[in-house]
Every structure is written in C-alpha cells, then in structure tokens.
Structure 1
Amino acid sequence: MLNISNIHHVAIICSDYSVSKKFYTEILGLKIISEIYRAERDSYKLDLEIGNTQIELFSFPNTPPRPSRPEAQGLRHLAFATDNIELAVETLTRFGISVEAVRIDEITGKRFTFFADPDNLPLELYEK
C-alpha cells in the first residue's frame, strides 16, 4: 500500500504567464507561495496555495494547446470547493468570465458550475 493521504499539487501549463498569474491570484484569490524564473528553460514556475494543496503554474515556450474540451483523455477538469456558489459566480462574472448555468449534481444534490481559465482549461465550482 502506498499510504497516500491527499493531493499535494496540480500542475498547469499556461500559454501567457502574466495573464494566467493574474487570473489565479487576483481573480481566484490564490496565495503565492513562491515564484521562480528558470532561464535555462525560459520558464516560470509559480506555486499557489489552495487549502492544503498547491497549484503549480508553469510557462514554457511553444506549448501545444489542449486537444479538446472537456472530453480529451487525461485530466477532465479541476474542481474548486466553495461555500457560496452564487457569490463565486457573481465575482467571476464581474471579472468578465463566462460561467455556465448552475446545475445540481443528481447524485449528491450539491450545486456546481463550470468556467474556464485563460487557456480554456475547464474549471468547476462545487458547493460544499
């Protein structure tokens, strides 16, 4: 047995570092843990805190776009827990971010919705 206790981090590669950094820090409100520029790779690595987990935001030159949304093989979407889905949707909308209609999970009865980051990575808000 591996004795896995939680998710340590999720890594995201973005196409425009400054736009994505602003999105994740100023709009989503994630706290910066560290920011490093790696000259040998022409790459930024931004570590962001979200609860007990981290998001690693990377920039690399000439990365290919995501093949499709959201049903490509691999990571389907990243979901964020929220206490107040209406307030979260209102905040995203104020920043000009398009948010799908809020739906109810037919299994859990919880409310959720989807939106996208600057690179069209599908993100979900899921009410606790």
Structure 2
Amino acid sequence: MKLTKIHHVAIICSDYETSKQFYVDTLGLSVVSEVYRNERDSYKLDLAIGDDYQIELFSFPNTPPRPSYPEARGLRHLAFEVDDIEAAVRELEEKGVIVEPIRIDPVTQKRFTFFADPDDLPLELYET
C-alpha cells in the first residue's frame, strides 16, 4: 500500500449553523457541497482547503461533548499551514477568535499557535 496524501478530515459539530459560519466566514474555507441527510437528521458540508484537502463537517443530533482536558485518546488537533502567522492571528482576533500566544517549536524552529472552533476542537496555525 502507498498512501499519497490526506484526503479529508471529518469533524462532528454540535451546532451546524454556528460551525458552518466559523469554518466558512471566519476561516475562509470554500463550500464544495452541502447535503442534508434526512434519514440521519444530519448535514454533511464539504469544505475545501486549497486545491488538495477537505474538511467534512457533520451534524448529528445529541452528540456527546469532546473530552479534551486532560487530553483523551484520538485526534489531538487539526493544523493549518500559513505563510504569515502574525497576519493570520490578527485576522482571527479581528473576528473575535481567542488565539494563544505565538510560540516556537523547539525542534523545527517554526512558529505556531492554537485557537478553538465553536466546539472547542483545538486548531493550530503553523507557519512555513
């Protein structure tokens, strides 16, 4: 088997409209498709990140909260690559998003920071 890249990351949200607004309006991801699945009482929103990657945003009724602190097993966070981390942080803060201070990765010497989506999913900005 030869894995060539990550195709998508799937996220389940608690409030579909709030999360859709966050990922589309706040983060600027573009909508590829949006489907309501009546049999599941669920939306599925495909969002493009650049030309190669996607986020699938799902809504399901009565989802349990995500255990984060202390950190639980499973996906730890989702990281987005940016060219200018300071500009990205300013843009998020102007939109009311709380962003942690920018830090430097001691191994790569690259700058990074964290913020959260409406369901407290940890999101990272990583400057290349």
Give the TM interval when normalised to the shorter protein. Answer: over 0.9
Which consecutive unaligned segments of at least 5 residues does structure 1 have? none
Cross-structure match for 1:111 = 111
Cα distance, 1:70–1:11 mapped onto 2, change above 3 Å = farther
CA distance in 2 between counterparts of 1:39 and 1:69 reads 34
Matched, 1:41 2:27: no
Report sequence identity in percent.
69
Kindly state the Cα deviation for residue 33 of structure 1 after the two structures are TM-superposed: 0.3
Matched, 1:11 2:10: yes
Cα distance, 1:70–1:46 mapped onto 2, change above 3 Å = farther
Q: How is 1:53-68 mapped onto 2 (pairs within 5 angstroms)? A: 53-68=53-68
CA contact (8 A) 1:70 1:122 kept: no
Cα distance, 1:120–1:70 mapped onto 2, change above 3 Å = farther
Q: Secondary structure at the match of 1:113?
A: strand
Q: Secondary structure at the match of 1:40?
A: helix
CA distance in 2 between counterparts of 1:36 and 1:56 reads 11
Q: CA RMSD in A?
A: 0.9
Cross-structure match for 2:73 = 73
Cross-structure match for 2:83 = 83
AA in 1 matched with 2:46: D
Matched, 1:98 2:98: yes
Kindly state the Cα deviation for residue 64 of structure 1 after the two structures are TM-superposed: 0.3
> 1:44-102: CA deviations, max 9, x gaps?
00000012111000000000000124721000000000001011100110111110000
Which consecutive unaligned segments of at least 5 residues does structure 2 have? none
Kindly state the Cα deviation for residue 105 of structure 1 after the two structures are TM-superposed: 0.4
CA distance in 1 between counterparts of 2:24 and 2:67 reads 26
